[in-house]
Amino acid sequence: MRQFNEQADATTVQVTVGEVFQIYLAENPTTGFRWRLDCAGAPTCSLIDDYFSVPGRLPGGPGIHHWNFKAVASGSTTICLSYARRWQNSAPARTFRLEIRAGGQS
Q: 3-state DSSP call for residue 1?
A: coil
Q: Which residues pair with 11 in a beta bridge?
A: 98
**CA-only gyration radius of the chain, Å:** 14
Domain span at residue 50 reads 2-105
Q: What is the DSSP string of 52-94?
A: EE-SS--TT--EEEEEEEEE-SSEEEEEEEEEEETT--S--SE
Q: What is the CATH number of the domain that holds 16?
A: 2.60.40.2020
Count of Cβ atoms closer than 10 Å to residue 45 Cβ: 24
**Number of separate domains in the chain:** 1
Tell me the pLDDT of the chain (106 aa) as tens digits: 999 999 999 999 999 999 999 999 999 988 899 999 999 999 999 999 999 998 777 667 789 999 999 999 999 999 999 999 988 888 899 999 999 999 987 6
For residue 44, give the DSSP letter: T
